Amino acid sequence: MYCAVGLWNSFFIMLYSVFDVSRLMRWSTRSTEEIFALFISIAFCVDASRDTYHNFNRNYLSAACQGVASNATQYLAAANGTDSQQGECLRESSVLYLLLMLGTLWVGVSLYNFNKTPYLEAGKRELLADYALPVAVLVMTFVGSYLFRDVKLAPFEYRDDNTVQLVSLSGLGAAAVCGSAGLGFCLSLLFFMDQNISSAMVNNPSNKLKKGPAYHLDLLVVALLNGLLSVLGLPWMHAAIPHSPLHVRCLADVEERVEQGHVYEIIVRVRETRLTGILSHLLIGLSLLLLPYPLSYIPPPVLSGLFLYMAITALNGNQMFERITLLFTEQVAYPPNHYIRRVPQRKIHTFTGCQLAQLIVLCAFGFAPWPYMKTLFPVLLLLLLPIRHCLLPQLVEEKYLAAIDSQH
C-alpha cells in the first residue's frame, strides 16, 4: 500500500511537471511561504515536546517513582519473589534528557549567532556559525554519553534488518489501488506545495541568486526519485523547510547593516554550487557504515534539541514572526521596516491576525489525532492562495498588501 501510494504520488507529480502546473505558484506570496514556514517550526517543536513528554511520563512520573503500586500488586510481587514496583524510577534520566535537549539548543543557537560577536576572526566566526549544528550535536553527545555515562538513557534506535528490497504489488486488490490513488493525489498536492514553496524561498530576490529556477524540472526529478524510493520501500524525499533556506544561508556572505539603531542582515552573494548537495547526501549514505557505533552513542534528547534548533533558526528573517512580536512591542520601539513606514499600524495587525487564523487552522488539521483529518492538510495548504488573493483584499487595501507582502 505504501509503494502504491508513492507510485501514484510520483505519477501525479510527473503530470504537474509535464503541464508546468508550477505556474500556479506565481500566486504564492511571501505570506503563504511564511505561514507554512511557521507551521514547520511548530511541527519541530511539537515533535521535540512529544518525545520529552513520553520520557517524563515513562521515567519521572512512573508508578515506581510515585509509589502507587496497589496492595494486590505488592502481594503478588512478594509471593513471586519479584520487585513490587512497576518499572524503574529513573527521574535522573528525565532530568538529563531535558538538560541535553536544551543544551543542544543553546550551544547550537549560540554558535549560529557567533558571527555577531567580536570574538576571533571574521572567517572563524563564520565557520563556527555554519557548522553550529554538528558542533552542538558532538559536544552534547560527549556530555551525555561520557560525562553522564552512569545515567541510564534510552539507546539510539535503528533497524538492523535489510529494508532495501523490491516491493510486490500483487497482493493489492482493486479497492486498495483506487484508495491508494486518492491518497497519492493528496500526497502529491503536499509535495507540490512543499517543493515549490521551499524553492520559492530559496530563489527569493533577497538571496541574489544568478541561476534561474526550473520548478517543473525539479518536480520531474522529485517524481522519478520518489518512484524509485517507493518501489524499494524507502522514505520519500523532496525539498523542505527549513533545510533548503538554511543551506542557502550557509553558502552566503552575510553583512550587517544598521538603520536608526536597528541591526538587520543582508545577503551579499551566494556561492551557487551543486557540490554541497551531492556531498551532503553521500555523507548521509555513508552514515549507514557508522551503525551501530559510533552513531549509537548519540543520545535521543540530542536529536530533540536538533529539532528545536531547526525550529528556532528557521524564524530568522520570517516577517510574519516579526509582526507577531509587534503585537507585544511598544510602538516607539518598532523597527524602521519598509512596511512600518508605509502601512498603518491597524492594517498591519489585521493582516497578521488573518495569517494567525490560517496558521491555527493548519495546525488544527496537521496535528489532529485522526489520520483522515490530516489527509485534508494539503488541500488547506493549497487554499492559502485564493484566501490571499480573494479574501484578504476585502480586509486590507491592495496598496498596503503590496507593501507588507512583497519580496524584499
- E-strand spans in 128-191? none
At residue 269, φ and ψ (nearest 5 deg) are -160, 160
CA distance 27 to 35: 15
Closest by CA to 225, choosing from 185, 183, 195, is 195
Q: What is the DSSP letter of 23?
A: G
Residue pLDDT, tens place only, 10-44: 999 999 999 988 888 888 888 888 888 899 899 99
State the DSSP H helix or E strand holding residue 184, giving kind and residue range, or none if neither: helix 174-202
CB 314 within 8 A of CB 241: yes
pLDDT per residue over 172-212, tens digit each? 888 888 889 989 998 898 899 888 888 888 887 777 888 87
Name the residue type at position 42: I
Give the gyration radius of the chain's Cα atoms. Answer: 24
Q: What is the rounded distance in angstroms from the CA atom of residue 378 to the CA atom of residue 63?
A: 41
Q: How far apart are CA 134 and CA 303, in angstroms?
A: 11
pLDDT for res 17: 92
| Nearest CA among 216, 225, 228, 221 for reference residue 16 | 216
Question: CA-CA distance, 207 to 231, in Å (whole number)?
Answer: 37
How many other CB atoms sit within 10 Å of the CB of residue 339? 18
Identity at 257, one-letter amino acid code: R
Note the pLDDT tens digit of each residue in 299-310: 889 989 999 998
- Dihedral class, residue 177 (left if φ above 0, else alpha if ψ from -120 to 50, else beta): alpha
Phi, psi of 255 (to 5 degrees): -120, 150
Cβ atoms of 248 and 314 closer than 8 Å: no
Kindly state the helix (H) or strand (E) to which residue 117 belongs, with its residue range. none
Cα 333 from chain centroid?
A: 31
Phi, psi (degrees; rounded to nearest 5) at 263: -100, 130
Structure confidence at residue 226 (pLDDT): 93
Separation of alpha carbons 96 and 93, rounded Å: 5
Residue 101 · residue 52 · CB < 8 Å: yes
Name 257's bridge partners: 264
- For residue 76, what is its C-alpha cell? 503478588
Return the DSSP state at 83. -
Regions in the chain scoring below 50 on pLDDT = 68-77, 82-85, 408
User: In whole angstroms, what is the distance from residue 174 CA to residue 180 CA?
Assistant: 10
CA distances from 177 to 12, 13, 376 (A): 15, 18, 20
Whether the CB-CB separation of 158 and 118 falls below 8 Å is answered with no
Contact criterion met (CB below 8 Å) for 191 and 381: no
Q: How far is CA 352 from the centre of its chain?
A: 22
Rounded CA-CA distance 203/211 in Å is 9
Among candidate residues 324, 372, 368, the one with its CA nearest the CA of residue 348? 324
> What digits encode the pLDDT tens for the residues 41-62?
999 999 899 988 888 888 888 7
**What is the signed CA dihedral for 394, 397, 400, 401, rounded to 10 degrees?**
40
DSSP 3-state of 171: coil
